[in-house]
Amino acid sequence: MAPSHVLKCCQRVLAWVPVVFIALVVAWSYYAYVVELCAFTITSTGEKVVYLVVFHLSFVMFVWSYWKTIFTSPASPSDEFCLSKSDKEQYEREERPESQQDILRRAAKDLPIYTTTASRAIRYCDRCQLIKPDRCHHCSACDLCVLKMDHHCPWVNNCVGFSNYKFFLLFLLYSLLYCLFVAATVLQYFIKFWTLCRRKSAENCPKNDLPDSHAKFHVLFLFFVAAMFFISILSLFSYHCWLVSKNRSTIEAFRAPTFRNGPDKNGFSLGCSKNLKEVFGDEKKYWLLPVFTSLGDGCNFPTRLVIMDPEQLTVSSQNEPAKSSGANQPFPVRPLSESQNRLLDNESQWVEGGSEEENVKSGAKKHVIVSLES
C-alpha cells in the first residue's frame, strides 16, 4: 500500500476519535445516572420513576439527533452544475482566466446562481470540476463540495450543511437539555456528597443516610461534566440561533456572499419567521424531531433581491453605484423560481418607480426589490 494511502487511512481513523470520546462520555453518563444515582443513591421510588422517565426521553432525543448529524451524508450539487465534457475540455485547454470565465459564464447562464466570488468571477471548484451553487463550498476534510456548507465539525466527524443543519441544531438543543436535566437533578446529591466528603476530611462526620460508596465518585463527576458541557454548548447554540434568525451560515457570517450589488450579509434573509422555516420546514409538529424538513433543494435559495430583467441593469444601477462595478461582466441570472413565487404571493413588494402592475403594463423592465422583512 502506498504511503499516502496509509496516511489517509490513519487520518480517517483518527477523525473518529472525538466522536468516540463523546460516545464514551455519554455512555458513562448513562451508567452513572441510571445505575449509580437512580438505583443506588435515590431511595424514593416516586423520585426515581420521574427522573428515569424524563432522563430517557432527553437521552433518546439527544442520541437520535447526534446519530443523524453524524451519519447524514453531506448533500453535493446535482449533475446540472457539472461542466459538459466539451466545456470541461475547453476549460482545461484555456490558460487565460478571462477565457475560462467566459466558458463558465456560458455554462452558468441557465443555472439558478445569484452569487459570485468577491472579484465577480463565477464560483468554480477545480477539485470537483463543477460550478458551485449559491452557498455551496468545498470542504477540504470531506474533499467534496457541500450544499449550504456551514462548517466541518470534528465532534460529529461530518460536514454540517444543507442536509443535516437541522439535525445539528437539534443535537445542540438536546445536549443542552440533557446536561441541564442531569445537572439540576444531581445537584442536591452533589451537595450532600460534597459536604459529606468535607466533613469526613475534617474528622467530624455525622451519620448520613447516603451510601458511602463509589456512587459518590460518579455523582460528583456527573455534576461537573454536565455543568461543563452545558456552559460550553450554550454559547455555540446561542450563536447558531442567531445565525438561523438571519438565515446565514457560519461561513457567510465571516465572509458575506457577493450578489450583483456587492457583498450582502443579509442577502438570503427573508425575515426571522421565514428564516426559521427555511431550516425547520413549514410544519411545526416536525420542528423538534430530527427528520429532514428543511425547505428547498439546497441549490436554489430565495433571496431578497429578485432580478426581473437582467438586460435593464442600467435602470437600477443609476441609483446604486455598487451595481455598476459588475455591469461589464454579465451576471448569470435565473427566472423566478417556484420558491420565489411562493414568497412573492404573500409578501408586500416594493417596486422602484411605481407598482409592479403598472410596470408590467407599460412594458417597463425594472429591478424589483422584494421587501420581505416584517
- Could you give the residue numbers annotated as active site? 153
Question: Which residues lie near Zn ion (CB under 5 A)?
Answer: 125, 127-128, 138-139, 141-142, 145, 152, 159
Retrieve residue 127's grid coordinates. 477539485
In whole angstroms, what is the distance from residue 229 CA to residue 175 CA?
8
Q: Which is nearer to Zn ion, 240 or 323 (CB)?
A: 240
Per the listing, cell 443609476 goes with 318
Closer by beta carbon to Zn ion, 138 or else 265:
138
Residue 139 Cβ, how far from Zn ion at the closest point, in Å?
3
Q: Which long-range contacts does 113-117 make (Cβ < 8 Å, 24+ apart)?
A: 113/332, 113/334, 114/259, 114/260, 114/267, 114/301, 114/303, 114/305, 114/333, 114/334, 115/257, 115/258, 115/259, 115/267, 116/258, 116/326, 116/331, 117/258
Helix, coil or strand: residue 373: coil
CB of 81 to Zn ion, least distance (A): 10
Q: Edge-to-edge, what's the strand order for the sheet holding 305-306?
A: 305-306, 368-369, 350-351
Of 139 and 197, nearer to Zn ion (C-beta) is: 139
The nearest distance, CB 164 to Zn ion, in angstroms, is 11
Smallest distance from Zn ion to CB 157, Å: 9
User: Which residue shows C-alpha cell 404571493?
Assistant: 345
Residue closer to Zn ion (CB basis): 135 or 216: 135
Diameter over CA atoms, the chain: 94
- Report d(CA 298, CA 223) in Å as an integer: 41
**Least Å distance between CB 152 and Zn ion?**
4
Q: Of the two residues 172 and 308, which places its CB atom closer to Zn ion in the complex?
A: 172
CB of 242 to Zn ion, least distance (A): 23
In the bound state with Zn ion, the residue whose beta carbon lies nearer, of 142 and 220, is: 142
**Residue whose C-alpha cell is 456551514:** 150
What is the four-CA torsion angle of 66, 67, 71, 76, rounded to 10 degrees?
-40
Chain-centroid distance of CA 225 in Å reads 26
Residues 206 and 199: beta-carbon distance below 8 Å: yes
- Assign 129 to helix, strand or coil: coil
- Measured from the CB atom, the residue of 146 and 222 that comes closer to Zn ion is 146
Alpha carbon 201 to its chain centroid, in Å, reads 49
Q: Is 125 helix (H, G, I), strand (E, B) or coil?
A: strand
Q: How far is the CB of 147 from Zn ion (least distance, A)?
A: 11
